[in-house]
Each structure stands twice: as structure tokens, then as C-alpha cells.
Amino acid sequence: MTPAMIVAFLQEKQLSVQSQQAYKGDLRQFLEICPRLDQSGLVQYQAFLQGLKPTAQRRKVSAVNQFIYFLYTRGQVERFYKLEAVSSPVLTKKRQAPVHLDALWLETELLDGQLMALLMSQLGLTPSELMGLKLEQLDLEFHILNLDRGGQRRILSIPKTLLPYLESRRDQVFLFDKQGQPYSRQWFFNRLSAYVGTLGHREWTAQFLREQFILSRLAAGQSLEQVAKDLGLKTSISLEKYK
């Protein structure tokens, strides 16, 4: 699925300018949350919908199902998926407060897992970003991290409390280095799972820790737009559920 398919889809519909913009916004949001059309992606999008009001849910479900049918009839997907409306009522709730992650700073022998968890929770990095992270991207003197993603450059400030965990890894290519090569995604998953397991918090997954970064930044007064920029997102649409 690509943004170009959204354009092709809208060209076949006779819509007012306002309706066209609404469709476009909903479908771009769908692609951002569900870049690959499969059951796993739809479950993730369904979870996102649960944080919205019923009227917004119904509008987005309708737009997405029409778009999926368009893709199916054009041979862009092998099977037709249908997004189901959220059946349970959505309750208005206060913004979720960040969890205390003090345990991440305790001394441990599982240093790789600890550093992964700290970078995810303190800088909002994803496993993919950690896999490709090279030491040359770190400027420990000025406390900054340079990231390039899809042609977009991000310069993140490294908290001073993180510096001791990074300074011991100077003589290698990657921050997590396997004789000059990056480790596999499974290796990262295993190391993180083993580490948080020793803390008694197996629920502290990569997604959970990244979410804590978002919640802590919003609690500190940052805007959704600024948090999205720090995360390398093109828009803040996928963060609306944290309002």
C-alpha cells in the first residue's frame, strides 16, 4: 500500500473538497499505523480505534473498508480483509500517566538488554533503529544522537544519566556490535525479554517502553507535534490516542 493508491482511490469518488480531505486524512493515518495489509496490522489499527469516539470510529472504519475493497478489486492485495467496528462503548478517560521505570537504572549483568530498554524509554527508539545504530552517530561530548530515517534527519539530546552506559562501547562499529555487523531482530527481542524478565516486568516490551517515552514527554508539557518529530513521524496522527 502506498500514498499513490489513496490518490487513485479518491479519483474514482465524487466528493466535496471537505470530504476528500477527511478521506485522505483517515487513509493516511491507516497507512501509518498499518503499513502492511494483513491480519496483524488490522488488529493494531483496531486497537487504535478503541481510543476514539464512536462517531470517529464509524467514519474511519467506513473509509478504510472502502479503500481495502478498492485495493482488492485492483489486485493490490491477495484477499479481501474487512475491518469490523468496535463493539464495546468507548469511555472518556484521562490521559494515561507514565509508569515509573526506576528499575531500569539498577545494576545488572544483562547490560545489552538494559541499554536497549533505556534507549527505548528515554529516547523513543525502535528496535530497528537500535539494530542499525552506529557509534559514529553518537556525539558523547555534546550529548547528541544523529538519526537518518527516510531522508529525515533527527538530532536527539542524550540525557546525561545515559552517558555512562554508552561510553564503554567506544571501540566498535555498531552500538550493539557482532564483529562489525549488526545483530538480528530476534537477538534484540531475546536480550530485551530476558532483561525485563529479571526485573519481574515481562510486560515491558519494546512497544510499551516507547509508549512510556511518549507519555513522559506529554506529561512534561511537550506537544504531540514535537513528540512526533522526536520519534521521526511525519505527522502526529498516530499519537492522537494519547491526547
Q: Note if 59 is an active site residue.
A: no
Grid coordinates representing 180 are: 562489525
Among candidate residues 191, 195, 210, 217, the one labeled active-site is 210
Long-range contacts of 2-11 (CB under 8 A, 24+ apart): 2/31, 3/28, 3/31, 5/67, 5/70, 5/71, 5/76, 6/31, 6/67, 8/70, 8/74, 9/66, 9/67, 9/70
Is 210 an active-site residue?
yes
Sign of the torsion formed by the C-alpha atoms of 36, 25, 234 and 51? negative
- Other Cβ atoms less than 10 A from the Cβ of 50: the count is 11
Answer yes or no: are the C-beta atoms of 5 and 71 closer than 8 Å.
yes
**CA proximity to 125, closest of 159, 171, 169:** 159
Q: Which of 69, 81, 183, 242 is catalytic?
A: 242
The residues annotated with a catalytic role in the active site are 210, 242
